[in-house]
Amino acid sequence: MKVLIVPPNSLILFDLVERFGHEPLSVMAVLQEKIESKEIESPPINVTVDDVKKGLKYAAIEVPSGIRGRLAIYGPLVDIAEAAIIMEDAPFMFGCVGCARTNEMMKLLIRKRKIPLLELDYPANEDEAKAMVAQIKTFLEGLVK
Protein backbone atom coordinates (compact mmCIF):
# COMPACT_ATOMS: atom_id res chain seq x y z
CA MET A 1 0.00 0.00 0.00
CA LYS A 2 1.05 3.59 -0.54
CA VAL A 3 1.87 5.05 2.86
CA LEU A 4 2.37 8.80 3.18
CA ILE A 5 5.03 9.83 5.70
CA VAL A 6 5.10 13.08 7.68
CA PRO A 7 7.74 14.63 7.88
CA PRO A 8 7.67 13.92 4.16
CA ASN A 9 11.44 13.53 3.84
CA SER A 10 12.10 11.50 7.01
CA LEU A 11 14.82 8.86 6.68
CA ILE A 12 13.55 6.89 9.68
CA LEU A 13 9.95 6.68 8.46
CA PHE A 14 10.90 6.06 4.82
CA ASP A 15 13.14 3.18 5.80
CA LEU A 16 10.71 1.59 8.25
CA VAL A 17 7.76 1.76 5.85
CA GLU A 18 9.82 0.14 3.10
CA ARG A 19 11.31 -2.40 5.49
CA PHE A 20 7.85 -3.56 6.54
CA GLY A 21 6.75 -4.10 2.94
CA HIS A 22 4.89 -0.97 1.85
CA GLU A 23 5.57 1.86 -0.58
CA PRO A 24 6.50 5.12 1.20
CA LEU A 25 5.19 8.31 -0.41
CA SER A 26 7.86 10.92 0.12
CA VAL A 27 8.67 14.36 -1.18
CA MET A 28 12.02 13.23 -2.59
CA ALA A 29 10.56 11.17 -5.41
CA VAL A 30 8.29 14.05 -6.44
CA LEU A 31 11.19 16.48 -6.39
CA GLN A 32 13.24 14.12 -8.53
CA GLU A 33 10.63 14.43 -11.26
CA LYS A 34 10.62 18.22 -10.95
CA ILE A 35 14.40 18.46 -10.93
CA GLU A 36 14.71 16.37 -14.07
CA SER A 37 11.89 18.19 -15.84
CA LYS A 38 13.10 20.42 -18.68
CA GLU A 39 10.31 22.91 -17.97
CA ILE A 40 12.03 24.41 -14.94
CA GLU A 41 15.12 26.59 -15.32
CA SER A 42 16.68 26.44 -11.84
CA PRO A 43 14.89 23.70 -9.93
CA PRO A 44 13.48 23.24 -7.39
CA ILE A 45 13.15 26.93 -6.57
CA ASN A 46 10.97 27.80 -9.56
CA VAL A 47 7.39 26.74 -9.95
CA THR A 48 5.44 26.32 -13.13
CA VAL A 49 1.96 27.62 -13.96
CA ASP A 50 0.66 24.10 -13.41
CA ASP A 51 2.07 24.07 -9.86
CA VAL A 52 0.15 27.21 -8.94
CA LYS A 53 -3.04 25.62 -10.27
CA LYS A 54 -2.37 22.46 -8.29
CA GLY A 55 -1.78 24.52 -5.13
CA LEU A 56 -5.12 26.28 -5.55
CA LYS A 57 -6.87 22.93 -5.28
CA TYR A 58 -5.65 22.62 -1.67
CA ALA A 59 -5.56 26.23 -0.42
CA ALA A 60 -7.42 29.44 -1.19
CA ILE A 61 -5.95 32.29 -3.22
CA GLU A 62 -5.42 34.36 -0.03
CA VAL A 63 -3.08 31.74 1.40
CA PRO A 64 0.60 32.77 1.08
CA SER A 65 2.25 31.54 -2.10
CA GLY A 66 4.86 29.61 -0.09
CA ILE A 67 2.16 27.43 1.42
CA ARG A 68 0.41 26.96 -1.92
CA GLY A 69 3.71 26.10 -3.59
CA ARG A 70 4.46 23.46 -0.96
CA LEU A 71 0.93 22.10 -1.08
CA ALA A 72 1.28 21.73 -4.87
CA ILE A 73 3.87 19.07 -4.03
CA TYR A 74 2.35 17.58 -0.86
CA GLY A 75 -1.31 17.71 -1.97
CA PRO A 76 -1.12 15.13 -4.79
CA LEU A 77 0.71 12.80 -2.38
CA VAL A 78 -2.17 13.10 0.10
CA ASP A 79 -4.61 12.38 -2.75
CA ILE A 80 -2.98 9.09 -3.72
CA ALA A 81 -2.11 7.96 -0.17
CA GLU A 82 -3.83 4.81 1.08
CA ALA A 83 -2.54 5.21 4.64
CA ALA A 84 -0.41 7.72 6.54
CA ILE A 85 2.05 7.95 9.42
CA ILE A 86 2.50 11.31 11.14
CA MET A 87 5.47 11.81 13.44
CA GLU A 88 4.79 14.87 15.58
CA ASP A 89 7.41 17.25 17.00
CA ALA A 90 10.26 16.18 14.75
CA PRO A 91 13.10 18.53 15.75
CA PHE A 92 14.20 19.04 12.15
CA MET A 93 10.91 20.44 10.92
CA PHE A 94 12.62 23.57 9.73
CA GLY A 95 14.47 24.41 6.54
CA CYS A 96 13.02 22.88 3.41
CA VAL A 97 10.05 21.34 5.23
CA GLY A 98 9.89 24.14 7.76
CA CYS A 99 6.61 25.82 7.02
CA ALA A 100 4.52 25.11 10.11
CA ARG A 101 1.28 26.25 8.45
CA THR A 102 1.85 23.96 5.47
CA ASN A 103 2.53 21.05 7.82
CA GLU A 104 -0.67 21.78 9.75
CA MET A 105 -2.61 21.99 6.51
CA MET A 106 -1.15 18.75 5.23
CA LYS A 107 -2.17 17.00 8.46
CA LEU A 108 -5.68 18.42 8.05
CA LEU A 109 -5.89 17.14 4.47
CA ILE A 110 -4.76 13.69 5.61
CA ARG A 111 -7.31 13.56 8.44
CA LYS A 112 -10.09 14.70 6.09
CA ARG A 113 -9.38 11.78 3.76
CA LYS A 114 -10.25 9.30 6.56
CA ILE A 115 -7.52 6.87 5.56
CA PRO A 116 -5.82 4.60 8.14
CA LEU A 117 -3.60 6.92 10.16
CA LEU A 118 -0.93 6.45 12.79
CA GLU A 119 0.10 9.45 14.85
CA LEU A 120 3.13 9.24 17.10
CA ASP A 121 5.76 11.46 18.69
CA TYR A 122 9.36 11.76 17.59
CA PRO A 123 11.30 9.49 20.00
CA ALA A 124 13.37 11.22 22.65
CA ASN A 125 14.91 8.11 24.22
CA GLU A 126 15.49 4.42 23.62
CA ASP A 127 12.23 3.23 25.19
CA GLU A 128 10.20 5.65 23.09
CA ALA A 129 12.05 4.49 19.96
CA LYS A 130 11.28 0.85 20.78
CA ALA A 131 7.62 1.72 21.23
CA MET A 132 7.63 3.75 17.99
CA VAL A 133 9.10 0.92 15.91
CA ALA A 134 6.65 -1.58 17.43
CA GLN A 135 3.68 0.73 16.76
CA ILE A 136 4.74 1.30 13.15
CA LYS A 137 5.19 -2.45 12.57
CA THR A 138 1.78 -3.28 14.04
CA PHE A 139 0.13 -0.51 12.01
CA LEU A 140 1.75 -1.52 8.72
CA GLU A 141 1.06 -5.21 9.22
CA GLY A 142 -2.58 -4.38 9.84
CA LEU A 143 -2.97 -2.66 6.47
CA VAL A 144 -4.78 -4.88 3.99
CA LYS A 145 -3.13 -4.84 0.57
Binding to other proteins by residue 16, rule CB under 8 A? yes
The whole-angstrom separation of Cα 118 and Cα 131 is 13
16, 136 Cβ separation under 8 angstroms: yes
Beta carbon of residue 106, minimum distance to other proteins (angstroms, whole number): 17
Q: Does 117 bind other proteins (CB under 8 A)?
A: no
**Which of 56, 63, 117, 133 lies at the binding interface for other proteins (CB under 8 A)?**
133
CB of 109 to other proteins, least distance (A): 19
Q: Is 128 in the site for other proteins (CB under 8 A)?
A: yes
Binding status of residue 10 toward other proteins by CB under 8 A = yes
- With binding defined as CB under 8 A, does residue 127 bind other proteins? yes
Long-range contacts of 67-74 (CB under 8 A, 24+ apart): 67/99, 67/101, 67/102, 67/105, 70/99, 70/102, 71/102, 71/105, 71/106, 72/47, 73/27, 73/30, 73/31, 73/34, 74/8, 74/27, 74/102, 74/106, 74/109
Q: Which is nearer to other proteins, 45 or 60 (CB)?
A: 45
In the chain, beta strands by DSSP E:
2-6, 23-25, 83-88, 117-121
Member of 39, 57, 129, 142 binding other proteins (CB under 8 A): 129
Q: Does 137 bind other proteins (CB under 8 A)?
A: yes
In the complex, the residues that contact other proteins under the rule CB under 8 A are 7, 9-12, 14-16, 18, 26-36, 42-44, 89, 91-92, 94-97, 121, 123, 125-134, 137
